[in-house]
Amino acid sequence: MAGEISIVLMDGFAAMPAPGPEAGASNTLALGMLLYTEYLYPLEIAAVLLLVAIVAAIALTLRSRKDTRHTVASEQVKVRKSDRLRVIKMDAVVPVAAAASAVQNEEGQGAK
């Protein structure tokens, strides 16, 4: 495929003279004219290389790997709140009065 593109591009555009810049042409127009006349072949090569890179990146992401964990969506939908969350009642580890005095002590030491 790349060989056919190169044959068509090299033979087809080799005989054509490159158009010169127009008097009131903008930089964008001049750049476009230059890209599609003198640098058409390198531009096509870059396009093919980018296309191959995109296909390779997609192929690498879609391959199946052994170290990944797969989830089953139907099992996730069937889960109830009671299966995942358990609320327990427990006493505070530090009494509230002791915790408040500890916070006040820390604030007093931080101001010094």
Query: According to the model, what pLDDT value does residue 21 have?
Result: 64
Contact between 30 and 21 under an 8 Å Cβ cutoff? The reply is: yes
Contact between 9 and 44 under an 8 Å Cβ cutoff? The reply is: yes
Cα 94 to Cα 8, 38, 101, 102, 108, distances in angstroms: 83, 79, 11, 10, 20
Region 55-64 average pLDDT: 89
* Token pair of 36 as six digits: 């599609």
pLDDT digits (tens, 9 = 90+) for 18-39: 666 667 778 888 888 888 888 8
